[in-house]
């Protein structure tokens, strides 16, 4: 069962150039969250870490970061599991919360670039 977090942007009516820049910004932001979460994801053989992906649906301006192994949700939710130093449960939720401001800045910066 995958572990997933997502973000949906509501920017009203956008012209094509702004839409494309919002998609680029959202993709960069999702890649950023993925990278930060990979630093915390439990790591034994690296399978869980390698299963991480960042994706964007351009039509709905929705971005997602997910890990897709049969044990992704248990590793994320079970706070009693032991992990190597620096690795932990909540490996997606905590970075998602901590990087929310950075995610917004990344998307905004890409949109600003398109306005120049």
State the pTM of this model: 0.84
Q: What is the pLDDT of residues 53-110, one digit of tens each?
A: 999 999 999 999 999 999 999 999 999 999 999 999 999 999 999 999 999 999 999 9
Query: What radius of gyration do the chain's Cα atoms show?
Result: 15
Angle (CA) 96 82 66, round 5°: 30
pLDDT (0 to 100) of residue 12: 64
User: In angstroms, rounded to a whole number, what is the distance separating the alpha carbons of residues 90 and 78?
Assistant: 9
Can you list the domains of the chain with their CATH numbers? Answer: 3-115 (3.30.300)
- 21 neighbors 111 (Cβ within 8 angstroms): yes
Which two three-digit tokens encode residue 73?
A: 């949700």
Q: Band the pLDDT of 11: cuts 50, 70, 90.
A: low
User: In angstroms, rounded to a whole number, what is the distance separating the alpha carbons of residues 85 and 43?
Assistant: 10
**DSSP 8-state code for residue 33:** H
pLDDT (0 to 100) of residue 115: 79
Mean pLDDT of the chain: 90
């Amino acid at each position: 069962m995958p572990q997933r977090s997502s973000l949906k942007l509501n920017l009203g009516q956008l012209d094509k150039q702004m839409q494309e820049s919002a998609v680029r910004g959202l993709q960069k932001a999702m890649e950023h969250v993925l990278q930060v979460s990979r630093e915390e994801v439990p790591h034994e053989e690296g399978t869980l870490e390698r299963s991480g992906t960042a994706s964007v649906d351009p039509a709905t301006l929705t971005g997602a970061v997910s890990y897709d192994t049969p044990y992704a949700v248990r590793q994320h939710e079970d706070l009693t599991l032991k992990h190597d130093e620096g690795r932990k449960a909540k490996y997606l939720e905590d970075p998602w919360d901590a990087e929310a401001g950075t995610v917004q800045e990344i998307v905004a910066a890409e949109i600003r670039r398109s306005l120049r």
